[in-house]
């Protein structure tokens, strides 16, 4: 992904502020490849931006019940919009969040979260089979 961190961070923080998210965590490790993490959230969802060895990614976690269980925006996109490209630039990931924000908030509400978790397992497994068929024993 060729989005530089300052540009990506600006896009992410702009998105987060417009959704009422506040800063939860900001880390930078200059020793470990310059890795960086920014987490912003509210009472329902956390959104995390990670720069790890030059690759930017965005993840979402439900804040109340499972705050340490992160779901890639690519997996969430597959759930909410249908299967698409397996690699998205950070701006594309932020666009997925923007397009689906209200649905995400509703999906991780107390009344819907368990159903959402079940669907995410199915979507994540289907993606794994698609990307690594031999690992899953598929003959495709």
Q: 3 falls in which pLDDT band (50, 70, 90)?
A: very low
113 or 55: which leads in pLDDT? 113
126 or 55: which leads in pLDDT? 126
Q: Where are the domains of the chain?
A: 5-131
Q: With 0-12 CB in 10 A as exposed, 13-18 as middle and 19+ as buried, what is 39?
A: buried
Confidence check: pLDDT of 1 > 50 = no
**DSSP 8-state secondary structure symbol assigned to residue 139:** -
The answer to whether the CB of 38 falls within 8 A of the CB of 28 is no
**What local confidence, expressed as pLDDT, does residue 139 receive?**
58
Task: Compute, in degrees rounded to 10, the torsion defined by CA atoms 113, 115, 116, 119.
Answer: 160
Q: 6 falls in which pLDDT band (50, 70, 90)?
A: low
pLDDT digits (tens, 9 = 90+) for 59-93: 999 998 887 899 999 999 999 999 998 889 888 99
Q: What is the DSSP string of 8-50?
A: HHHHHHHHHHHTT-EEEEEEEETTTTTEEEEEEE-SSEEEEEE
Cα gap 59→53, rounded to integer Å: 16
pTM: 0.83
């Amino acid at each position: 992904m060729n989005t530089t961190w300052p540009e990506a961070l600006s896009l992410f923080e702009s998105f987060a502020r417009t959704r009422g998210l506040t800063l939860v965590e900001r880390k930078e490790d200059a020793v470990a490849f310059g890795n960086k993490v920014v987490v912003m959230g509210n009472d329902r969802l956390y959104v995390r931006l990670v720069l790890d060895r030059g690759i930017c990614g965005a993840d979402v976690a439900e804040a109340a019940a499972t705050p340490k269980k992160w779901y890639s925006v690519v997996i969430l996109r597959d759930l909410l919009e249908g299967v698409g490209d397996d690699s998205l630039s950070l701006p594309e990931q932020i666009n997925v969040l923007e397009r689906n924000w209200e649905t995400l908030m509703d999906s991780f509400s107390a009344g819907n979260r368990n159903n959402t978790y079940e669907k995410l397992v199915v979507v994540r497994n289907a993606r794994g089979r698609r990307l690594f068929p031999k690992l899953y024993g598929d003959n495709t």
